[in-house]
Every structure is written in structure tokens, then in C-alpha cells.
Amino acid sequence: MSYDINNVFAKILRGEIPCQKIYEDDFAFAFPDIHPQAPLHILIIPKGPYCNYHDFVTHAADDAITGFQKAIANIIHLTKAEEGGYRLISNSGINAHQEVPHYHVHLLGGRHLGPLLVK
């Protein structure tokens, strides 16, 4: 999978598509999912052209990887997600239903989330 510079998340990072910013720092940008699957459903994206997790950890600088992980922790704290529990999901590729070819993490919470996979 090659990185598409015109994917929706790249456009959000460039400010070409408006969104409700929940969090931003040098390494990450977070905003609500437009089709939430739980009361808390936030998308967290790194500020760089990475297709998926493997691409990110293979090509990002160590400070970008660490900064992104700390940003996720900051967002969990900011939203108080740890109080009731939360789930972090990152889909990669067609079989996992990755819809946008930019690495991102879904933060879900606010209710009982049920089983991880539906059989």
C-alpha cells in the first residue's frame, strides 16, 4: 500500500477539510469519528505520511513514535476514558476494513463495548 497524499486525513492535517479538533501537538491530531460506534469515538492520527502501523514504526523517527504514543495517553486522560475503560483499535488493509490509507487509532469508550470480534 502506498501513501495517498490526497486521503481525507492528509487533507485534514493540511487544513483543507475542517473538523472539530480535540487534541493537537507536534506528533498527533485527534478529532471525533464522523460515524461513531460508541459514545466516545475519537480518531488519532500521526502527523506524517504513514499508511498503517507497520509503515509508521518502520519509517517514523523514534521521537515521532514516542510522541504519538504519549499523545494517545494524553487524549485518554483528557477524555477521562480510563474511568470506565476504553479500547484502542488500528485497522490495516482490506481484511481489517481500513477505510482511510493513513495510519490512525480509534479510541472507543463510554459504554460496554462487547466482544472484540463478531463471528
35 as an active site residue: the answer is no
Q: Which of the following is catalytic: 59, 77, 97, 104?
A: 104
Q: 91 vs 62, 68, 95, CA distance in Å?
A: 22, 17, 9
Residues 44/102, Cβ–Cβ less than 8 Å: no
Residues 119/27, Cβ–Cβ less than 8 Å: no
Residues β-bridged to residue 24: 29
Catalytic residues, by residue number, are 104
